[in-house]
Amino acid sequence: MSRQYYIAGNWKMHKTRAEAAELAKALVDGLKDGKHKYLAAPGFTLLETVAALVKGSNIRLGAQNMAAEEQGAHTGEVSVLQLKDLGVETVILGHSERRHIYKEDDGLINKKVRLALKQGLEVILCVGETLEEREAGKAEAVCETQTVKGLEGVSAAELSKIVIAYEPVWAIGTGKTATPEDADAIHAYVRGVIGKLYGAEAAGKIIIQYGGSVKPENAAQLMAKENIDGALVGGAALKADTFVPIAKFS
């Protein structure tokens, strides 16, 4: 089963519009002959700027989050309709920072997933365990719960618009890195969970990205693993000279 590699850059809470424009131009230029699927996910205030620059290129526009309601009295939130209006095609949901810092639970994340799909967006659903959970032997159980609950009510037809990103929380900014073997083992396990929910064919087709200290130095080793189909890149996505080599790994 051949799956297309998918490399996404999560810019998190960085960049002004001028800085974002500079990075977007460099990525469009650097990736124009790239063979894989690419995504840039800038902050909300940068989406319009970046949208204009990636339009017509091979880079998709993503958002890092969205509200669980379509519109209404939700001060400080950003709606799926507003994102679509700017040309956003994909939304990252359930990122570990949303789960752990902003206390988003599986129910809220699932509500967002279903709303994004209803509005025709593609979703990158993030799952992953903390260091405590891994050390307690719960890594697989945590990833299974987050996957099952995140996909509740999602039909087999809608699953084609879902990408899973495995991000071990303990490997983000801690100096600890998941080995390609560690990562592949969880990817294989999550693929099995998709198989139980949707069948073997769906499990073979779903793209599972790895996120957690992906760098130009380790990208090729990670991508060489059977169940790793791409990367959700954080820090290294903030500069073209680190993101482009990851995106064009060989």
Domain presence at residue 1: no
Q: Which domain holds residue 104?
A: 6-247
- Are the C-beta atoms of 54 and 24 separated by less than 8 Å? yes
pLDDT at 43: 98
Model pLDDT, residue 173: 67
Share of the chain above pLDDT 70, in %: 98
pLDDT tier for residue 250 given thresholds of 50, 70 and 90: confident
Helix ranges restricted to H, the chain: 17-31, 47-54, 80-85, 96-100, 106-118, 131-135, 139-150, 180-198, 200-205, 219-223, 240-247
- Over the range 148-180, which residues count as b (16 or more CB within 10 Å of their CB) and which as e? bbbbeebeeebbebbbbbbbbbbbbeeeebbeb
Packing angle between helix 180-198 and helix 139-150, nearest 10 degrees?
A: 40
Rounded Cα gap, residues 156 and 147, in angstroms: 14
* Mean pLDDT along residues 41-66: 98
CA dist 46 and 32 (Å) reads: 21
Report whether 62 contacts 40 (CB < 8 A). Answer: yes
| Number of domain units in the chain | 1
Q: What is the pLDDT of residues 66-92, one digit of tens each?
A: 999 999 999 999 999 999 999 999 999
pLDDT for 190-241, tens place per residue?
999 999 999 999 999 999 999 988 999 999 999 999 999 999 999 999 999 9
**pLDDT bracket for residue 175 (50, 70, 90):** low
Beta-carbon contacts of residue 98 (< 8 Å; ≥ 6 apart): 65, 104, 109
**pTM score, whole prediction:** 0.97
Show which residues are catalytic: 95, 167
Residue 57, domain CATH? 3.20.20.70
Mean pLDDT to the nearest integer, 50-64: 98
